[in-house]
Structure 1
Amino acid sequence: MNRNVLIAGGGIAGMAAGFAAARAGWRATVFERAHAFSEVGAGVQLGPNVTRILQAWGLGDALKQVAAFPAGLRARSMNTGEVLATFPLKDAVSNYGAPYVTLHRADLHGLLLQAAAREGVQVHSDSVVQRVHQTPDSVMFDVMQHGQLQHHHGPAAVAADGVWSPLRQQLLGDGLPVFTGHIAYRALVAQADLPLHLRSQDVSVWMGSQAHVVSYPVRGGDYLNVVCLAEGRLLDDDGHNLQALQTWNAQKSEAQTLVELHHALRGACAPLTDLMAACSDWRLWPLCGRPAMQGSHQHAQGRVALVGDAAHPMLPYLAQGAGMAIEDAAELALQLSYAAEDDVPQRLQQFASARWQRNARVQARALRNGQIFHAEGLMRIGRDMGLRLMGRRLMDMPWLYGDEPSV
């Protein structure tokens, strides 16, 4: 059997899929449109449901080299600074068998890229997968590689080409993602450059009205990743500008960004405004998404599986976007390990059936969290009271962290 899986997209989802498939005995070929992988990106939080998989893949030691291990999570009022609730993230190992970690997205990607290279995964940069063709027996990618059209064949393929996935459009034809009305303003600051009272090795969530701020350590705790997520202040006239919405790293003038942040954080307490003032080089990330998954057909079509944001773009309010992509990769590899050439479509349907409901639940919960984090009026009062009374219980999620995806 020709056990070559073709993968469109070399981000976290694609690299995890390639590495996991190689561990399952397949040759994996990854096609990435970028000329080179970039250091630019956001921070990432990985719950024990994800680090458990990375440990099973033999990547636990590599993770320790680049991640931070926050002891706790603090939910705070944006306006008063009051700590509404705390949650002991350090207990993840005893409760769920694996740690809760925070790290830079580029470090997670680099970890997976190095692991994939050790497993013999071929990665082609400057390679745009333009189209996929299927027959009953095989699948073919049309790939523009370094300006030349090439054709690649195999018994299985994976669309891991992100939230704007061209392959999803071809396979499902269900339209483009839509702008959610939310913008992430992201910054990275060296902890050594912060005054002592602003340095932190914990995850902090500051909740207000129509906005919240998250901060957590990355790069072994040497840096603090700071993200303000706000509603209703999108890129002026760019709300319907496809190019603007597709820009991962949009950057405005410093003055314009500060005006928008000031508006989003109006009424914020002094510790939070001090932290935001200490950050510079703010980058914008328009949040675009889709409704929660409706069925297994959105995860696999014939010999092509869809994984990560191509299948189920996640809003960041549950911190599970990268996590669900890695879970996808683990389940995909399990099914491929059992596959014969003639039953690849059936195995991919098994993958889809195993994954779609969990991903739909995480998508829906992330959307709900966004509404809670940005609550106004009586809902905000109820949110804060609920956190004061039952914060630890509300923040623990055994349904998410305790599940055992296949590795």
Structure 2
Amino acid sequence: MPLQVLVAGGGIGGLASALALAQAGHRVEVVEQSAEFGEIGAGVQLGPNATRRLQSLGLGEALDAVAAHPDTLHVRSASDDGALAQLALGSAMQRRYGAPYRCVHRADLHALLLTAARGRAQITLHSAARIVQIEASDDAVAMGTADARAWEGDALVGADGLWSVVRPRLEDAGAAPRPTGHTAWRGLVAQAALPSALRSNDVRVWLGHRLHALVYPVRRGELLNVVVLAEAAPAGDARDWNQATSLDALQRATGACCTALQDYLVAVPAWRAWTLHDRAPLSDAAQMAHERIALVGDAAHPMLPYLAQGAGMAIEDAVALGDALHAVDNRALPDALRHYAEARWRRNAQVQAKARRNATIFHAAGPLRVARDLAMRTLGTRLLDQPWLYGA
């Protein structure tokens, strides 16, 4: 008999989970607290590990139609724009890993997942539903909302992000998210509005003292996504991913940067910011699933964006969850969720730890920066390529 699975959260991880579970033959109720299904934010980089799984959900062509297809990753110095390393993307990634590297606007990725979910009879979507109550028994899970709606299912998937209301239901939920002292600024600029020298189909990264910046194309290459991550005092509400800010605030945080990077910062018409939080890397499977409740994405393993894998790990979780629940009935469900968590927690913990490590390396000063730059110039491709990550 098909399972009835409740999914809390209608973002990228929640919708990908719904699609994977429906593909496994189950019925899914997705419950989203926002008034409408949608995404804020700007760009997302998807390595071959993520695009391969989107292809397995039947979304490869839809992704290619809305994404940018970058040619090369360039790493440079934020102080003088000196070249440090580069990595071929494009066809080279396809040949090496059997799947492409894509850059996509977060809203476009969410929209293609939402369209696919709406096209599945097994998936029902509910919006404006803030969960305030969760109850679990030996054979079912129920949840209720602030406006007195309620659902019951065989299992509950928490895909409700960093400030998850589902996570505390796990026995090993852990402490609250940790403020990192890092702030991210993001903005979009139309390529047509830029002088030809600034237009690009590449991913460009600048490494500096206590900061790094990225510029890459999204939305079929029509827009450039500009992101600066700096060790700076948080601004505004820690839970607000879309804080209004300014170029002046950004430049005060970053200090002097090379002209090439400054040209991009000045070109962005409006800036938004958010305060970065994470949790310690996962330490066991119990932090991802217990009995009839499982977590995916940031609800389980929030991570710094210094490996560009937040969305990728959520998508990986979703497909692994669908695989774990294939041909599973109510009775076998707790064991299946335990196997899902066992299959996922070590990889997610590794990505969390490496993202934290990259924060130190990317923002280095003094002797560490000198050693990093020398290693980049000498071993650039070997350091930038990630077979353990992209090939899995």
TM-score (norm 2): 0.97
| Aligned ranges 1:79-228 → 2 under 5 Å | 79-90=79-90, 91-120=92-121, 121-144=123-146, 148-171=147-170, 172-228=172-228
Q: For residues 279 and 73 of structure 1, what CA distance do their matches in structure 2 show?
A: 21
Q: Say if 2:39 and 2:110, in contact at 8 Å, map to a contact too.
A: no
**How far did 1:34 drift?**
0.4
Match of 1:268 among 257, 264, 281: 257
SS of alignment partner, residue 34 of structure 1: coil
**How far did 1:267 drift?**
2.7
Is 2:244 the partner of 1:251? yes
Q: For residues 137 and 37 of structure 2, what CA distance do their matches in structure 1 show?
A: 33
What amino acid does structure 2 have at the position aligned with 1:142? G
Match of 1:241 in 2: none
Q: Say if 1:206 and 1:213, in contact at 8 Å, map to a contact too.
A: yes
Q: Say if 2:173 and 2:287, in contact at 8 Å, map to a contact too.
A: no
Q: Say if 1:205 and 1:215, in contact at 8 Å, map to a contact too.
A: yes
**How far did 1:42 drift?**
2.2
Q: Mean alpha-carbon deviation: is it higher for 258-267 or for 333-342?
A: 258-267
Q: Say if 1:169 and 1:175, in contact at 8 Å, map to a contact too.
A: no
The runs of at least 4 aligned residues of structure 1 exceeding 3 Å deviation read none
Match of 1:68 in 2: 68
The Cα offsets for residues 332-377 of structure 1, whole Å up to 9 and x where unpaired, read as 0011113111110000000000000000000001111111110011
**How far did 1:169 drift?**
2.3
Q: For residues 307 and 268 of structure 2, what CA distance do their matches in structure 1 show?
A: 24
Q: Mean alpha-carbon deviation: is it higher for 103-112 or for 257-266?
A: 257-266
**How far did 1:109 drift?**
0.5
**How far did 1:264 drift?**
3.2
Q: For residues 174 and 130 of structure 2, what CA distance do their matches in structure 1 show?
A: 21
Distance 1:151 1:2, change over 3 A: farther
SS of alignment partner, residue 149 of structure 1: coil
SS of alignment partner, residue 283 of structure 1: strand
**How far did 1:55 drift?**
1.2
Match of 2:372 in 1: 383
Match of 2:30 in 1: 30
**How far did 1:119 drift?**
1.6
Match of 1:291 among 265, 276, 280: 280
Match of 2:360 in 1: 371
Q: For residues 142 and 234 of structure 1, what CA distance do their matches in structure 2 show?
A: 34
The Cα offsets for residues 198-236 of structure 1, whole Å up to 9 and x where unpaired, read as 11110011000100100100000000000000002322x
Q: Say if 1:210 and 1:264, in contact at 8 Å, map to a contact too.
A: no
Q: For residues 62 and 38 of structure 1, what CA distance do their matches in structure 2 show?
A: 17
Q: Say if 2:247 and 2:265, in contact at 8 Å, map to a contact too.
A: no
Q: Say if 1:169 and 1:176, in contact at 8 Å, map to a contact too.
A: no
Aligned-residue CA RMSD in angstroms? 1.2
Question: Percent sequence identity over matched residues?
Answer: 48
Q: For residues 56 and 161 of structure 2, what CA distance do their matches in structure 1 show?
A: 25
The Cα offsets for residues 84-142 of structure 1, whole Å up to 9 and x where unpaired, read as 11100121100000000000000000111111111221110001122221111111111
Is 2:3 the partner of 1:10? no
What amino acid does structure 2 have at the position aligned with 1:250? Q
What amino acid does structure 1 have at the position aligned with 2:239? Q
**How far did 1:265 drift?**
3.0
| Aligned ranges 1:346-357 → 2 under 5 Å | 346-357=335-346
SS of alignment partner, residue 245 of structure 1: coil
What amino acid does structure 2 have at the position aligned with 1:102? C
Q: For residues 38 and 334 of structure 2, what CA distance do their matches in structure 1 show?
A: 34
Q: For residues 318 and 326 of structure 2, what CA distance do their matches in structure 1 show?
A: 12
SS of alignment partner, residue 243 of structure 2: coil
Q: Say if 1:42 and 1:105, in contact at 8 Å, map to a contact too.
A: yes
Q: For residues 215 and 37 of structure 1, what CA distance do their matches in structure 2 show?
A: 27
Match of 1:399 in 2: 388
**How far did 1:2 drift?**
5.4
SS of alignment partner, residue 305 of structure 1: strand
Q: For residues 269 and 226 of structure 2, what CA distance do their matches in structure 1 show?
A: 10
Match of 2:20 in 1: 20
Q: For residues 317 and 105 of structure 1, what CA distance do their matches in structure 2 show?
A: 17
Structure 2 unaligned regions, length at least 5:
none
Is 2:333 the partner of 1:344? yes
Q: Mean alpha-carbon deviation: is it higher for 132-141 or for 71-80?
A: 132-141
Match of 1:324 among 282, 301, 313: 313
Q: Say if 2:6 and 2:156, in contact at 8 Å, map to a contact too.
A: yes
- Name the count of aligned residue pairs: 389
Q: For residues 340 and 261 of structure 1, what CA distance do their matches in structure 2 show?
A: 52
Q: For residues 170 and 39 of structure 1, what CA distance do their matches in structure 2 show?
A: 26
Q: For residues 152 and 37 of structure 2, what CA distance do their matches in structure 1 show?
A: 25
Q: Say if 2:179 and 2:277, in contact at 8 Å, map to a contact too.
A: yes
SS of alignment partner, residue 166 of structure 2: helix
**How far did 1:83 drift?**
1.5
SS of alignment partner, residue 331 of structure 2: helix
**How far did 1:69 drift?**
0.6
